[in-house]
Amino acid sequence: MKEFVHLHLHTEYSLLDGMCKIDEVTKLAHQYNMPAVAITDHGNMHGVIKFYKSAIQNGVKPIIGCELYVAPESRFEKKTHGIKDASFHLTCLVKDSTGYKNLTKLSSLSYLEGYYYKPRIDKEILSKYSDGLIILSGCLKSEISHYILKGEIEKAIEIIGEYQDIVGKDNFYLELMDTGMEEQKKVNRVLIELSKKTSAGLVATNDCHYLRKEDAFSHEILLCIQTGTNIEDPKRMRLSTDQFYFKRPEEMISSFSEVPQAIKNTIEISEKCNLQLEFGNYHIPKYPVPEGKNEDEYLEELVCEGLRERFGIEVKPPLDEKTDNRVIKRVVYELGIIKKMNFSNYFLIIQDFVKEAKRRGIRVGPGRGSAAGSLVAYLLGITDINPLSYGLIFERFLNPARVNMPDIDIDFCDRRREEVIEYLKEKYGHTNVAQIATFGTMAARAVVRDVGRALKMSYKEVDKIAKLISHDAGVNLEDEIRKNPEINNLIKSDERVKRLFDISLQLVGLARHASIHAAGIVITEKPIPEYAPLFKGPKGEIATQFEMESIEDIGLLKIDILGLRTLSVIEDTLNLIKERRGIEIKEFPLDDEATYRLLSKGETIGVFQLESKGMQELCQKIQPKEFEDLIAILALYRPGPMKSGMVSDFIERRKDPSKIKYDHPLLEPILKSTYGVILYQEQVMQIANKIAGFSMEDADMLRKSMGKKIPEVMEQMESKFIEGAKKNGIPQKIAEKIFNQISKFAEYGFNKSHSTGYAYISYQTAYLKANFPLEFMTSLLNSEIGNPDKIAEYIKECERMNIWVLPPDILQSDEKFKIIGNDILFGLSAIKNVGSSAIKSIIEEREKAPFSSLFDFCERVNLRAVNRKVIESLIKSGAFDCFGIPRSQLYAMMDEAIEHGAKMKKMDQAGQLSIFPSTAKRIIPKVNRKAIKNLPEWSDMKLLSYEKEMLGVYFSSHPLEKYVDIIKLYSSITTSSIQNMKEGEKGWIGGLLVDIKRTTTRKGERMAILTLEDLDGRVEVVFYPKVFERVSGLIRANSVVFIKGKIESKEEEFRIIAEDVTSLEGIYDKLKKCIIDISLPVDEGKLRKLKDIISENNGKTEIYLNIEIQNKKMKAKLKGISIKPTPEIINGIKNLFGEESVRLEE
């Protein structure tokens, strides 16, 4: 072993600063023959569990630590310092389990109490939690270095004494570094002298930020990404030398040859640090069971209650496994495994808060993930899916061969999710419940964009390069470079692109930022800092610094509590049905014809999981007739099955049962519901069980190994499968064929338990839409308040369903959308700028008496809440149209009305109106009524543009209404068809220009980014400088134009890169070819009419005929003849030869 250990090191969890990837640095430490290595990330312990496991795996002792930030005075002092003076750096290492607990407490308090620019501790809490810790004095940003560089040596000596008092002389060391910086050399010289004066030990470290010297430039780029600068910025943050790397022991020994004790002390410190973390022990809080019962007994008692409620089976514990009843048999089996694995307490905790949520009227999802495969979960009310009805498998959920905690994820009504979390805090203690961290990483496409920006390459060039990388989740950048010939050619031909990818490869996968997991909650037996450090999220949420995997590693109970908006929609719909019709729906019949009719037509906008265009088409193709079909649809609509041809096979076999083939009769009962296609993971398990005699536990291990495609494991499993099949009398060739089939499909197989749970929610929403459309669409609109695009989409769907959505009305509209007769009235909270306090004031006053005018309105409402901006928005939205005054006139009198209202309020507060009530009637506002009455209403375009701005939708009409025919005729692209088009495909799109943003490139060239709106939706259009310079005169807000462009997708969002633009009239001259398809024989009269149409309309568009005679095709160009392809001409030709007979091209 080498006589040196790195004790100051920053992994990727020193976010956007550390470049030492954990697995790489621990391997390198082993390669360098170091006995140990430390982790000391900036102000956090995010990576310590991952680091600990990786070091052990690589045969190196892990030393857990942190570079703490220390407040100059109290951690509570947060006013007198700027960021530079807010904290000093201090290196802290853990000796043992006491030290580990103390460091987690210090790290937690640094966020919860001391956060000011950085998470900070102070010497007070360091003194309190100092046992088991070793302190190193830190880098140039340490307190001691600070005073040395200021020349205040006595103060430095005083600080050394303070730290020696806090942790003991033997546990405090002065940190020497050789990073090539002049300030560091000066500090080192003084530290050596101070060591003699104070008897403080010296220790050599290197403040490692990256692995190798040649990584220094990549680290500069990483810092540019962190600070939003680029490599050409002279003021950018950077490390001033290239020495902050993971140096070999020989280099460190050589650097400190004059101070050998500083090297020896690294070994001395590492020998003092002997933390042993325990994995595999669970720290689940104890559920309070009734006196005289243990957890197993009480769980069984609750299960027996569930048997009575769910199945009408009257039994008492203990349950007898010797029974012919398949329900009880399954229950006994599941309970046996749960008890054997010591998870009774876990199930009791879960059922308790689910039951409490239901007791409070909080809607709970029917089941999510593999937990829907548990009959015990169903009997406890955790799920509402009977696994026996759908062939769901318990071992997919809980397998004795997989020794890890069960994973039950639960959906709650999103509005009341926090209520559930609050209940857990009250029951188990506020210090014992927290959310969980998650980390955004630098993914393949994103890292190329980030690095390109930092290298100051042009956006256009980097965007083009990034698009060559697959946008599939989890794509491996190294594989992409190796396999993609376009990327390879760019790297070979352009040194800048080579550098871009070289750096990207070094940075890809690094943690980019910490955030809060959307659903994860941790519940512990003792306060969480006893096990894991805490931090504060962006919105002040308290969460563990560890992510999910580390939480599970240390044995903490992790539960996913998800807020699902669809459950709120269902709840609101049921309430409206009860309120309006007196019908209380508790169960949803799964054989409703109207529901399956709606699904088969693909009318699934607003239906959970089924509203995308692709899902609508899949529903139309499959034509679901029963609930199992819906389960299959949710499992099929994923990239894997769609790419593999599984979807086509499923649809073809469903339509033509003669195509269904089974390689063995034992497969039929397993695959019958999916027409011989292996669609579900559970089917893989059942095949292994029935064909090869695998236990369900082994079958689950087979499923898992097939998903991971580990060759050695697959070989062992194949051998075992074939031997098992042979014992069942199945020939080897058939056994091999079946194994290859399940191996192929296991990669795409979906968890049927999850699909079943979510299919039930899909069915519920489809049922409500089909049978109670008015109530459902009202609830759906309310669920999307704040999302104008969705509101617009759902209003359009309402129109298709013959439901009118009425514009807002100040005399009738409530806060949310509501039903009036057979229509839906727009909600005030869906109007831009109108907040809840304004709405409260409006409704309170309206309930006293209706508003009679804008002046009456302003006299009565609270003008602080209902301010000018709110009133302006109400006018523009049409909410005051009920007064019968044009919006332009209301707008003109608005300021006077507000002033009048404020004056009346003031008089009222002074008591003048109560003393002289008749005065109020004589106070007539000074409004030039004649001038205002002569004001014309705003133009149609202005009215509509304000409506769109305030409501997200046009109400009076649509600005493109008069141009519908021409836009439809000449557009080869629409905002709805763009989703199905290929990258790079070109065409013309017509529509309205809105949201125009003119900008300047880094080179000072002008360009524009705007939104084009057609009859179906919106799309972003980019005009790069060359095109913009040529067509800028035509780019005006609210103008209707045609744009020619190329389809581009950015992070799965489509946009158009403009190449040309023209007015509605100008489109005729842009389309140079009119191609007419004619099938002979054809009536002579039609040909004469075609001749008349052509000869009467001269223009610049040439005519080409595609003539088909007896299955033979001929092309002919009509020489010397050209037309102006107006709508009248094109429609005239279509009337002669059919709707699809004419197309226009450039």
Count of CB atoms situated within 10 Å of the CB of 450: 24
Which carries the bigger pLDDT value, residue 107 or residue 708?
Answer: 107
pLDDT value of residue 268: 96
CA distance 924 to 388: 76
The arrangement of secondary structure in 22-211+246-272, i.e. its CATH architecture, is Alpha-Beta Barrel (3.20)
Containing 92, the helix (H) or strand (E) segment is strand 88-94
CA distance 964 to 328: 65
Handedness of CA 892, 893, 894, 895 (dihedral sign): positive
The residues spanned by each domain of the chain are 22-211+246-272, 295-426, 639-749, 806-950, 961-1069, 1071-1145
Q: Is 878 helix (H, G, I), strand (E, B) or coil?
A: coil
Structure tokens at 1093: 């149409």
Q: Is 343 helix (H, G, I), strand (E, B) or coil?
A: coil
Does 870 score more than 90 pLDDT? yes
Handedness of CA 437, 439, 440, 443 (dihedral sign): negative
Count of CB atoms situated within 10 Å of the CB of 345: 21
CA distance 523 to 562: 16
Angle subtended at Cα 475 by Cα 469 and Cα 476, rounded to the nearest 5 degrees: 95
Containing 40, the helix (H) or strand (E) segment is strand 36-42
Containing 38, the helix (H) or strand (E) segment is strand 36-42
CA distance 8 to 41: 8
Task: Give 1020-1023 contacts, CB < 8 A, sequence gap 24+.
Answer: 1020/1053, 1020/1055, 1020/1056, 1021/1045, 1021/1055, 1021/1056, 1021/1057, 1021/1058, 1022/1055, 1022/1056, 1022/1057, 1022/1058, 1023/1058, 1023/1061
Q: What is the mean pLDDT of residues 809-823?
A: 96
Q: Which percentage of the chain shows pLDDT scores above 70?
A: 97
DSSP letter for 210, please.
B
E-strand stretches of 677-825? 805-806, 818-820, 823-825
Q: What is the mean pLDDT of residues 845-874?
A: 95
Structure tokens at 636: 């099929």
Q: In the β-sheet with 557-564, what is the strand arrangement from edge to edge? A: 409-413, 557-564, 511-523, 433-441, 542-544, 534-536
Residue 936: φ, ψ to 5°: -75, 155
Containing 134, the helix (H) or strand (E) segment is strand 133-136
Does 4 score more than 70 pLDDT? yes
Q: How far is CA 921 from the centre of its chain?
A: 58
pLDDT value of residue 928: 60
Instruction: For residue range 764-791, list pLDDT tens digits in order.
Output: 999 999 999 999 999 999 999 999 989 9
Evaluate whether 991 touches 1044 at the Cβ level (below 8 Å). Answer: no
Spell out the residues 6+ positions from residue 434 whose beta carbon is closer than 8 angstroms to its own.
521, 522, 528, 534, 542, 543, 544
Instruction: For residue range 1051-1089, list pLDDT tens digits in order.
Output: 567 899 999 999 988 888 888 888 888 888 878 788 888
Which among 83-92, 478-487, 755-764 has the top mean pLDDT? 755-764
Evaluate whether 992 touches 960 at the Cβ level (below 8 Å). Answer: yes
Q: What is the mean pLDDT of residues 557-570?
A: 95
What residues are paired with 522 via a beta bridge? Answer: 434, 558
Structure tokens at 917: 């009530």
Q: Is 744 helix (H, G, I), strand (E, B) or coil?
A: helix
pLDDT value of residue 919: 47
Whether the bond into 318 is cis, omega within 30 of 0: yes
Instruction: For residue range 22-52, list pLDDT tens digits in order.
Output: 999 999 999 999 999 999 999 999 999 999 9
Evaluate whether 326 touches 371 at the Cβ level (below 8 Å). Answer: no
E-strand stretches of 545-693? 557-564
Can you spell out the DSSP letters for 509-550? T-EEEEEEEEEEEEE-SS-GGGTS-EEE-TTS-EEESS-HHH
Spell out the residues 6+ positions from residue 796 whose beta carbon is closer than 8 angstroms to its own.
none
Q: What is the mean pLDDT of residues 867-885?
A: 96
pLDDT value of residue 85: 66
Distances (CA, A) of 208 to 12, 178, 457, 498: 11, 11, 29, 26
Q: What is the mean pLDDT of the chain?
A: 91
Spell out the residues 6+ positions from residue 37 whose beta carbon is closer than 8 angstroms to its own.
5, 6, 9, 25, 26, 29, 55, 60, 61, 62, 63
pLDDT value of residue 748: 79
pLDDT-derived band at 1050, boundaries 50, 70, 90: low
Spell out the residues 6+ positions from residue 823 whose beta carbon is closer than 8 angstroms to its own.
803, 804, 805, 806
Handedness of CA 135, 140, 143, 145 (dihedral sign): positive
Structure tokens at 1049: 């997708």
Q: What is the mean pLDDT of residues 558-577?
A: 96
pLDDT-derived band at 675, boundaries 50, 70, 90: very high
What residues are paired with 1103 via a beta bridge? Answer: 1074
Q: How far apart are the first and last CA of the chain?
A: 75
CA distance 274 to 278: 13
Q: What is the mean pLDDT of residues 418-431?
A: 94
CA distance 1115 to 1122: 16
H helices within 429-532, ranges in order? Answer: 444-454, 459-466, 477-483, 485-493, 495-507
Evaluate whether 798 touches 872 at the Cβ level (below 8 Å). Answer: no
Task: Give 847-854 contacts, CB < 8 A, sequence gap 24+.
Answer: 850/811, 851/810, 851/811, 852/883, 853/883, 854/880, 854/883, 854/885, 854/890, 854/893, 854/894, 854/897
H helices within 77-210, ranges in order? Answer: 97-112, 123-128, 143-149, 153-167, 182-198
Evaluate whether 1123 touches 1099 at the Cβ level (below 8 Å). Answer: yes
Structure tokens at 498: 């080579």
pLDDT value of residue 798: 96
CA distance 258 to 843: 82
Which carries the bigger pLDDT value, residue 460 or residue 784?
Answer: 784
What residues are paired with 63 via a beta bridge? Answer: 38
Which carries the bigger pLDDT value, residue 467 or residue 417?
Answer: 417
pLDDT value of residue 82: 56
pLDDT-derived band at 922, boundaries 50, 70, 90: very low
CA distance 711 to 1044: 51
Q: What is the mean pLDDT of residues 843-870?
A: 95
Q: What is the mean pLDDT of residues 897-908?
A: 88
DSSP letter for 286, please.
P
pLDDT-derived band at 926, boundaries 50, 70, 90: low
What residues are paired with 443 via a beta bridge? Answer: none
Evaluate whether 448 touches 462 at the Cβ level (below 8 Å). Answer: yes
Evaluate whether 1060 touches 1031 at the Cβ level (below 8 Å). Answer: yes
CA distance 1142 to 1136: 10
In a 10 Å sphere around its CB, with 0-12 CB exposed, 13-18 middle and 19+ buried, how is residue 373 labelled?
buried
The arrangement of secondary structure in 961-1069, i.e. its CATH architecture, is Beta Barrel (2.40)
Equal fold, 22-211+246-272 vs 961-1069: no
Evaluate whether 176 touches 140 at the Cβ level (below 8 Å). Answer: no
Structure tokens at 552: 């599970």
Structure tokens at 706: 């097939």
CA distance 156 to 150: 10
Containing 308, the helix (H) or strand (E) segment is helix 295-311
Whether the bond into 788 is cis, omega within 30 of 0: no
pLDDT value of residue 1120: 78
Handedness of CA 528, 530, 533, 536 (dihedral sign): positive
pLDDT-derived band at 458, boundaries 50, 70, 90: confident
- How big is the chain, counted in residues? 1146
Instruction: For residue range 45-74, list pLDDT tens digits in order.
Output: 999 999 999 999 999 999 999 999 999 988
